[in-house]
């Protein structure tokens, strides 16, 4: 009898526990599903409104795209769009937003709270980007949606604003429970190469996503954009005039073509480069190519060096003028194209510094040009989307001193730069390898 009642007790106890566990599971699952439902409803409403207005709406949330990519590889997830810790992030083209008033009123009719942030306080006045243009929308019904606006720029790429170019941004974000840190995009301005999209099914909703997800995620990591300072350029041209003689204009045009060609070749090889030395000084100081500079200078991290560079340039109308150094030390390539020169300086890491090397062909002397560490940003330079050191002024000052604003007519690459150091000599038995000069 005693044994029987013990079994009975166990059975009852077990069932009670099971029921308790099941209801706990239900409690845990139910709000989750409800959240997903709310999430998808909001997204579907936005998709419906944008498609009515013939706007393209592309999901660009990194986490959602990552989950979607994993799902293609067999890892299932209930709602890829829902699992992000940021507001759901989408992008649309500003050009496609012809009826922005209709867009806002349709969203409001659907009971979305809508705020648009604008380019009210841009640090510089970029050509073609006026103030008072919307740079993004913040939408809230059940969930918060961050709708980024891509603006088409002269250099045939997409640009987006930085949140803080609207002085109201911080207070507006906080009404959505957000801060500059909790949004995924627009902490800074950004630039993207144009990309194609794919229409996919996300939780039953047809949604556009970038066709090449890994490429898009990679580009997102390095999308920071800075604008050339048109204020500084105007001030430079007021103090020092602008050389508009036919010879100067002709040189600038040819140098531009050379830079554009180098960009095409390096982009094709997937090699990062930035404008360096005199070309960078011209960009920073006057948003232009310095007419008397005679050459175009670019920098490449030695970690991005590829053996394909030389054959690619030779196959496209460049002639090798000199090859100094070797891949692990002071590499510098110089090409000519017509009577113009393209110098490619390779940059090496050394603790807190980055440096590139120089070689004096007649003596075998080595030089070292030292720069404080820098990161790379996109910019638009004469309608070309190119990279510059984000810390542009520090880079310029390392190279040209604090007097960089004043045009210099006498410049000796071995002694003038404040960041030049002597760096020993190449051993004579290596000269034929490390000093190849062609004429």
Binding site residues, ligand NAG, CB under 6 A: 41, 44-45, 48, 328-329
CB nearer to ligand NAG: pick between 44 and 63: 44
CB nearer to ligand NAG: pick between 39 and 283: 39
DSSP state of 177: T
- Min dist CB 41 to ligand NAG, Å, is 5
Pairing mode, if any, of strands 295-301 and 340-350?
A: parallel
- Min dist CB 428 to ligand NAG, Å, is 15
Retrieve residue 267's tokens. 């982009």
Element spanning 283, H or E: helix 277-286
CB nearer to ligand NAG: pick between 347 and 395: 347
Retrieve residue 82's tokens. 């829902």
Q: Quote the CA–CA distance of 337 and 249 in Å, as a whole number.
A: 18
CB nearer to ligand NAG: pick between 53 and 232: 53
Query: Looking up tokens 């009719």, which residue turns up?
Result: 109
Contact criterion met (CB below 8 Å) for 365 and 283: no
Vertex 257 angle, CA 324 and 439, to 5°: 35
- Min dist CB 190 to ligand NAG, Å, is 30
What Rg, from alpha-carbon coordinates, does the chain have?
Answer: 29
- Min dist CB 9 to ligand NAG, Å, is 52
CB nearer to ligand NAG: pick between 283 and 355: 355
DSSP three-state, residue 185: coil
CB nearer to ligand NAG: pick between 187 and 326: 326
- Min dist CB 59 to ligand NAG, Å, is 16
- Min dist CB 88 to ligand NAG, Å, is 15
CA 253 to chain centre: 26
Burial class of residue 76 (count of CB atoms within 10 Å of its CB; 0-12, 13-18, 19+): exposed
């Amino acid at each position: 009898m005693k044994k029987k009642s013990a079994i009975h007790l166990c059975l009852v106890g077990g069932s009670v526990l099971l029921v308790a566990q099941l209801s706990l599971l239900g409690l845990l699952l139910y709000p989750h599903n409800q959240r997903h439902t709310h999430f998808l409803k909001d997204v579907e409403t936005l998709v419906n409104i944008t498609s009515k207005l013939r706007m393209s709406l592309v999901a660009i949330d990194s986490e959602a795209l990552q989950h979607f990519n994993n799902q293609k590889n067999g890892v299932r997830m209930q709602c890829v769009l829902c699992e992000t810790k940021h507001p759901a992030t989408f992008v649309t083209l500003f050009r496609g937003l012809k009826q922005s008033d209709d867009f806002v009123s349709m969203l409001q009719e659907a009971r979305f709270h809508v705020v648009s942030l604008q380019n009210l306080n841009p640090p510089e006045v970029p050509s073609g980007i006026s103030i008072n243009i919307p740079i993004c929308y913040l939408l809230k019904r059940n969930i918060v949606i961050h709708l980024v606006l891509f603006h088409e720029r002269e250099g045939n790429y997409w640009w987006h604003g930085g949140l803080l170019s609207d002085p109201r941004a911080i207070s507006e974000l906080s009404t959505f429970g957000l801060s500059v840190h909790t949004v995924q995009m627009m902490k800074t301005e950004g630039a993207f190469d144009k990309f194609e999209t794919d229409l996919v099914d996300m939780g039953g909703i047809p949604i556009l996503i970038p066709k090449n997800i890994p490429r898009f995620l990679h580009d997102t990591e390095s999308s920071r954009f800075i604008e050339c300072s048109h204020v500084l350029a105007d001030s430079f041209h007021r103090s020092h005039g602008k050389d508009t003689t036919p010879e100067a204009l002709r040189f600038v045009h040819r140098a531009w073509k050379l830079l554009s060609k180098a960009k095409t070749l390096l982009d094709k090889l997937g090699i990062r480069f930035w404008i360096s030395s005199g070309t960078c000084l011209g960009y920073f100081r006057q948003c232009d190519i310095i007419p008397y500079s005679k050459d175009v200078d670019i920098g490449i991290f030695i970690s991005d060096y590829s053996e394909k560079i030389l054959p690619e340039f030779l196959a496209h109308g460049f002639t090798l003028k000199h090859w100094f150094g070797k891949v692990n030390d002071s590499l510098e390539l110089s090409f000519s194209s017509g009577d113009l020169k393209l110098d490619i300086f390779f940059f090496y890491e050394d603790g807190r510094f980055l440096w590139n090397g120089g070689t004096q062909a007649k003596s075998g002397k080595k030089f070292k040009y030292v720069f404080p560490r820098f990161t790379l940003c996109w910019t638009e330079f004469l309608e070309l989307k190119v990279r510059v050191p984000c810390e542009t002024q520090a880079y310029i000052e390392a190279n040209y001193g604090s007097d960089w604003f004043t045009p210099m007519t006498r410049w000796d690459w071995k002694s003038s730069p404040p960041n030049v150091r002597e760096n020993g000599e190449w051993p004579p038995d290596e000269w034929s390898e490390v000093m190849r000069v062609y004429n």
